[in-house]
């Protein structure tokens, strides 16, 4: 049980990291990004290509993945989402943006399916089979490195939002975009930056996963669903809630394999999530007005 608990914490930290970008975009822009999982797949393929074609260490691929994902996010919001938001400026949760991101998800997945095919792709590293042992607990090194990366990026992300000038501006726009406009803030530009930063954080999750997860065009759906569960569990727009929600989902998913086959662990997580929503629809840190 202790070993499974540790494994759940390790993978749960990655779930939380994946959900950070999603909850940032919703908290600031009130946009539910259905393309989040597909864009995670994009970041994993960029990391995969950096390793296999350029010979980079998987974690050094961050220097390519993070700027690339930021640029992709900035351009997607500037060219597509912002135009929908301008048409629905008086709507709290723009439905048009939701439909747009869903269509974008289908487009991205099929483009990568046409380019890379349906096969699974993996990388080989010198540390792939290495483990570290503490008593009876054995942890694979790639998962430990992923946990350290997830925690480091999450802390840096929190500090950025609360200590930097841009971070405070982003939070101010999230609290009241109209007040921010009156104070001279360029809200569309802040939206572009927020979407880009959200995808840059997502890119670090893709780099964390690539050493021990096979990448294929459909992998975004798997992690995309868990990201939405994590955000809803923690509370819409809550950064601490996304991190705690990811840890809880990872722990439940891991521990339930003591009693059910591992193939049914996701079913147990979904049922547990539904029960939780009946008890607290707004999530752990969400406002009672959010549901």
Q: Give the pLDDT score at 291.
A: 46
Residue with the bigger pLDDT between 197 and 291: it is 197
| 287 is a domain residue | no
| 286 is a domain residue | no
**pLDDT, tens digit, for every residue of 138-150?**
888 999 999 999 9
| 258 is a domain residue | yes
| 288 is a domain residue | no
Kindly tell me if the per-residue pLDDT of 203 is higher than 90.
Answer: yes
CB 70 within 8 A of CB 199: yes
Q: Token pair for residue 21?
A: 């970008």
Structural domain including 16 reads: 2-279
**pLDDT, tens digit, for every residue of 16-33?**
999 999 999 988 888 889
pLDDT band at 92 (very low <50, low <70, confident <90, very high): low
Average pLDDT, the chain: 90
Query: Phi first, then psi: what are they for 88, rounded to 5°?
Result: -120, 45
| 285 is a domain residue | no
CA 160-165-168 angle, to 5 degrees, is 70
**pLDDT, tens digit, for every residue of 33-84?**
999 999 999 999 999 999 999 999 999 999 999 999 999 999 999 999 999 8
Kindly tell me if the per-residue pLDDT of 103 is higher than 70.
Answer: yes
| Residues contacting residue 235 through CB under 8 Å, at least 6 positions apart | 241, 282, 283, 284, 285, 286, 287, 290
| 289 is a domain residue | no
Domain count within the chain: 1
| Residues contacting residue 285 through CB under 8 Å, at least 6 positions apart | 234, 235, 238, 240, 241, 244
Residue with the bigger pLDDT between 63 and 259: it is 63
CB 31 within 8 A of CB 199: no
- Between CA 11 and CA 143 the distance in angstroms is 7
Mean pLDDT score, 145-161:
94
- Between CA 65 and CA 60 the distance in angstroms is 9
Distance of alpha carbon 164 from the chain centroid: 22
Query: Phi first, then psi: what are they for 183, rounded to 5°?
Result: -85, 5
Q: Give the pLDDT score at 91.
A: 65
Q: Is 223 left (phi over 0), alpha (psi -120 to 50) or beta?
A: alpha
| 233 is a domain residue | yes
Q: Decide: helix, strand or coil at residue 133.
A: strand
Q: Give the pLDDT score at 202.
A: 96
Q: Give the pLDDT score at 289.
A: 47
| 102 is a domain residue | yes
Domain of 157: which CATH number? Answer: 1.10.3470
Instruction: Say what the pTM is.
Output: 0.92
CB 246 within 8 A of CB 12: yes
């Amino acid at each position: 049980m202790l070993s499974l608990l540790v494994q759940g914490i390790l993978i749960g930290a990655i779930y939380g990291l994946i959900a950070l970008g999603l909850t940032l975009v919703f908290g600031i822009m009130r946009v539910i990004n259905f393309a989040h999982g597909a864009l995670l797949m994009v970041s994993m393929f960029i990391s995969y290509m950096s390793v296999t074609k350029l010979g980079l260490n998987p974690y050094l691929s961050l220097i390519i993945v993070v700027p690339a994902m930021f640029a992709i996010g900035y351009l997607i919001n500037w060219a597509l989402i912002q135009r929908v938001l301008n048409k629905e400026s008086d709507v709290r949760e723009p439905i048009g943006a939701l439909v747009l991101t869903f269509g974008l998800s289908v487009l991205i997945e099929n483009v990568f399916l046409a380019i890379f095919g349906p096969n699974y792709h993996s990388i080989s590293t010198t540390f792939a089979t290495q483990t570290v042992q503490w008593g009876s607990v054995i942890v694979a090194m790639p998962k430990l490195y992923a946990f350290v990366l997830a925690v480091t990026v999450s802390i840096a992300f929190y500090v950025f939002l609360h200590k930097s000038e841009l971070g405070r501006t982003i939070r101010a726009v999230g609290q009241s975009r109209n007040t921010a406009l009156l104070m001279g803030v360029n809200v569309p530009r802040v939206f572009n930056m927020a979407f880009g930063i959200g995808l840059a954080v997502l890119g670090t999750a893709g780099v964390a996963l690539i050493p021990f997860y096979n990448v294929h065009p459909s992998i975004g759906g798997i992690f995309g669903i868990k990201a939405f569960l994590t955000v809803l569990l923690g509370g819409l727009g809550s950064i601490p809630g996304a991190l705690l929600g990811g840890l809880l989902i990872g722990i439940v998913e891991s521990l339930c394999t003591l009693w059910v086959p591992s193939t049914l662990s996701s079913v147990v997580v979904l049922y547990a999530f539904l029960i939780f929503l009946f008890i607290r629809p707004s999530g752990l840190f969400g406002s009672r007005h959010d549901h």
